[in-house]
Amino acid sequence: MDTTMQNTYLINCLDLPDIPGITWRGFQGESDFPKIHATLHACKEADGVQRSETVEQIANNYAHLHNCDPNTDILFAETVDGLVAGYTRVWWEIQGDGAWIGFSTGYVRPEWRRKGIGTSLLCFDESRLSQVAQQLKQSGELTSQAPCTLDNFLSETEQDTHALMEKNGFRIIRHNFEMVRPDLENIPDLPLPSGVEVRPYQPEHLRAIWEASNEAFQDHWGYIADPWEEYVRMQTDPNFDPSLWRVAWQGDQVAGMVLSFITKAENEEYGRLRGYTENICVRRPWRKQGLAKALIARSLLALKERGMTEAALGVDAQNTSGATHLYELMGYRVTKHGGIFRKELNI
């Protein structure tokens, strides 16, 4: 059975409801990218989410998906005149501790909410991800004892989706913060540890940076290794600018990093000059030496030199390494809350 037939078969097996004016279908290729873009941007104001991705960025994302086949892992709710009223996409990962996590991202246009579309999309998510987990256990790629869950990341402002999740058995199990440094003044001048230096990025550094990042984050809750596909995708994103990165080396070893970026379209849309200081990590041998603070300070200075006036980042609110306190010391303040909604799968 080819992938298109598999998708059609799964949709038919779900016995999706007959919603007036709506038909259900799978992915149809590049022609869907503008429709996905339009749906995302139709939802952002109602959901209190700021986003400015382009059709080209969506196409780039779909060209580098990991553990996701658009032909089987996407469902669209479409109106009779071809408007996407809602859609969902699923994928999966295996945590460092062997647990299997199914993820989904879904959106329903505000004018089409509370008509059963969101519930139907969530039903597709659970059915498709349950099918994948069962197949992995049957093939031996996943141990029969491995726990399997469904996860969904939401901002506190996405209240309609919060209600949908809770109604369908999801519970919040982890909290996170968005933090903003409201200005780029009074950036401290902090020394690097002895023997450590920050080197300008070279393309041949990328794999070492990827490997060091994955190693550094192994100690974090819910660790999932970043796939190499994400770093390949990153290189073709219009916001990719590794001259903003601050990567610390000692000899031929990456000690730590801050991989900053600026989203020009977002700044233009929301009338601000913000840069993001993300992927902040230090490998074990270099911890407790002030390296993270020194790299953050250098990253803030790099953003300021590019004309930015503020910086932002996301952080696990329950991080046991004290990251939130560290960022507060560096001038960041919590501006928004979010969380992970989870549902156990009995497989």
Q: Cβ distance 66 to 132 under 8 Å?
A: no
Rounded to the nearest 5°, which phi and psi values hold at 57?
A: -70, -40
Question: What's this model's pTM, rounded to 2 decimal places?
Answer: 0.93
What mean pLDDT do residues 225-247 have?
96
Q: pLDDT digit string (tens) for 16-26?
A: 889 999 999 99
Contacts 24+ apart (CB under 8 A), 37-45: 38/83, 38/84, 39/84, 39/85, 39/86, 39/87, 39/107, 39/109, 40/107, 42/109, 42/110, 43/107, 43/108, 43/109, 43/110
Q: How far is CA 152 from the centre of its chain?
A: 10
* pLDDT of 8: 64
> CA nearest 10: which of 100, 91, 106, 123?
123
Concatenating the DSSP letter of every residue in 51-62 gives ----HHHHHHHH
Which pLDDT tens digit goes with each residue over 283-322?
999 999 999 999 999 999 999 999 999 999 999 999 878 8
Q: At 225, phi and psi to the nearest 5?
A: -60, 135
CATH of range 3-169; options 3.40.605.10, 3.40.718.10, 3.30.70.360, 3.40.630.30: 3.40.630.30
Q: pLDDT digits over 104-132, tens only? A: 999 999 999 999 999 999 999 999 999 99
Q: Where in the chain is the domain with CATH 3.40.630.30?
A: 3-169, 177-336
119-169: per-residue pLDDT in tens?
A: 999 999 999 999 999 999 999 999 999 999 999 999 999 999 999 999 999
Q: What's domain 177-336's architecture? A: 3-Layer(aba) Sandwich (3.40)
Q: Which amino acid is at 126?
A: E
3 state DSSP class of 254: strand
